Homo-oligomer: A and B are copies of this chain.
Amino acid sequence: MRLAVDAMGGDHGPEPVVSGVLSALETDEDLSVVLVGDQDQIEPHLDATASVLDRISFNHTVEIVGMDESPAKAMRNKPEASTFRCWDLLSAGDVEGVISAGNTGAVVAGALMSRRFLPGIKKPAIAVTVPSPVGWSVLLDVGANVNPRPSHLFNFGLMGLIYAKQMLGQDNPSIGLLNIGTEEAKGNDLAKETIHLFNQSPLRDQFHGNVEGRDIFRGVVDVIVCEGFVGNIVLKCCEGMVDFLMEAAGQELLCTLRDERELGRQALSKLHRRYHHSEVGGAPLLGIDGVCMICHGASDARAIRNALGAAKQFRVVNKMISQEMEHTRNCSKVEAEASA
């Protein structure tokens, strides 16, 4: 599998990206990578003795989308930026996937511009896994779309279902719609129309109905569907809350424990690591005809390596999504709504 890696994206420049790529190439002999970015900045980080150099090629560009830059403006003013160049390579068929730890908005903008969607999909969605006492669930969309329609949310449910089966190993996953209450009449117009769509669809047996914010970490359903505006805020809120709580817990333990403070610190640090983004590597942008992994801006080499490692599995996920879409489109009711 050949992947385009945005070597300039991320908060820490090319170093952790290149280091993660080398590690991934060492692990998987079938993998080859195009490092996209400023070759002069990338090359110093390549260990010349690495045995995997023959599976690395370069695509040189000096333009970079800054982490806080407007994706729309960047697209107009920096069409040659590394993030967009990765999408060009996918569109041209040079690679099968795109990996970036850069500006998420720019990655999504590149995807939308490329218009390489799986059959029947009109909007892609970013999916993340969330832990619960009973395992992991998948939450989507966490930020690819801000003004989605009910048919888009329905497709997110379908894609999440495949994700839960293939990536989380769940035989018969359930889908929930993130809402402000469990009754059907709850929520904004988008939520109400989406519930109707699920209830009329071939996925009705897997559709659990509404779930509330507190159900996310309770494992009430395997797939949690929401609009990107809500999902993005929820995701970042959780990130901020983990940092806040772990810091507060650490201080509390420091004040309370006597001889076992170091053990207490280790316990919290172990917990923090277990749910850290680098463990998962990246969040896939689902719905693309090709693989796209969006990594956290603060990704270290391990996160990049894990994202590359996961890419292959998403080839299978994409194939299954296409099949499921085909199957579901046989339901004329849903198709009518989806094409409305």
Is A241 a contact of B241 with CB atoms below 8 Å?
A: yes
Kindly name the residue among A180, A181, A244, A266 whose own CB sees the greatest number of chain B CB atoms within 10 A. Answer: A180
1/0 per position for A169-194, CB-CB distance to B under 8 A?
00000000011111101011101000
Is B212 a contact of A236 with CB atoms below 8 Å?
A: yes
CB contact list, A116-163 vs B, under 8 A: 131-133, 143, 146-147
Contact A218 B245, CB 8 Å, known A183-B68, A233-B213, A260-B257: no
Contact A245 B242, CB 8 Å, known A257-B260, A259-B260: yes
Q: Nearest-CB distance from A126 to chain B (Å)?
A: 11
- Compute how far the CA of A145 lies from the CA of B268 in the bound complex, rounded to whole angstroms: 38
Q: How many copies does the complex hold?
A: 2
Is A270 a contact of B241 with CB atoms below 8 Å?
A: no
A77 CB–B CB distance under 8 Å: no
**Residue numbers in B under 8 Å from A225 (CB-CB):** none
A168 CB–B CB distance under 8 Å: no
Partner of A217, one of B181, B185, B188, B240: B240
A243 CB–B CB distance under 8 Å: yes
A258 CB–B CB distance under 8 Å: yes
- Compute how far the CA of A18 lies from the CA of B216 in the bound complex, rounded to whole angstroms: 33
- Compute how far the CA of A245 lies from the CA of B248 in the bound complex, rounded to whole angstroms: 12
**Residue numbers in B under 8 Å from A257 (CB-CB):** 257, 260, 263-264, 267
Is B256 a contact of A270 with CB atoms below 8 Å?
A: yes
- Compute how far the CA of A132 lies from the CA of B234 in the bound complex, rounded to whole angstroms: 17
Is B233 a contact of A185 with CB atoms below 8 Å?
A: no
Is A258 a contact of B255 with CB atoms below 8 Å?
A: no
Is B268 a contact of A252 with CB atoms below 8 Å?
A: yes
A253 CB–B CB distance under 8 Å: yes
Q: Nearest-CB distance from A224 to chain B (Å)?
A: 10
Listed in ascending order, the chain A residues whose CB lies under 8 Å from chain B are: 68, 70, 72, 105, 131-133, 143, 146-147, 178-183, 185, 187-189, 191, 212-218, 226, 228-230, 232-249, 252-253, 255-260, 263-264, 266-268, 270-271
